[in-house]
Amino acid sequence: MGKVRSDKSSAQVADRSDRTAGKPLQVLLVEDNTADVLLCHGALQEIPLKVEVAVAHDAEEALALLSDNSFLTDLVVLDLNLPKFSGYQVLERYTRKSVPVVVFTSSRSEVDARCALALGASDVVQKPSELRPYRDAVRTIVEKAGGAIL
């Protein structure tokens, strides 16, 4: 069963090579909607991969974490519609391109998807409106990243 924590310090890891020794996958979830945060946590509790989640509730908080060299994460899951400024601006300002960013958005626009990919997102996943497909999408995003990092 996946382990989920939402405190920022949980996403700090000294050495990513320790993952093979059972270290959890570190995920930064950039999401302002509390219901979506809870759905993500629920989905991650259903997977066998160890996962620790830090949550940034707006783009400014996300960039502050991502610009802090002591904050290490293996994956960023980014909503586009955020307070203060957009997920696009996070992608523009994010400099650690070695960490994949998956845009997880309710937008159904091909233009939004192409723009996010052009700005450096590694993937764009549409948020399903139904509970089970939503949880499946979250698990797929994280399991795919976990497999690629191992």
Question: How many Å apart are CA 75 and CA 73, to the nearest integer?
Answer: 6
Q: Is 8-149 in CATH node 3.40.50.2300?
A: yes
Per-domain boundaries in the chain? 8-149
Kindly give the confidence (pLDDT) of every residue in the chain, 150 residues in length, as a single tens digit, with 9 standing for 90 and above.
Answer: 333 333 333 333 333 344 444 789 999 999 999 999 999 999 998 888 899 999 999 999 999 999 998 999 999 999 999 988 999 999 999 877 789 999 999 999 999 999 999 999 999 999 999 999 999 999 999 989 887 654
Q: Decide: pTM greater than 0.95.
A: no
DSSP label of 10: G
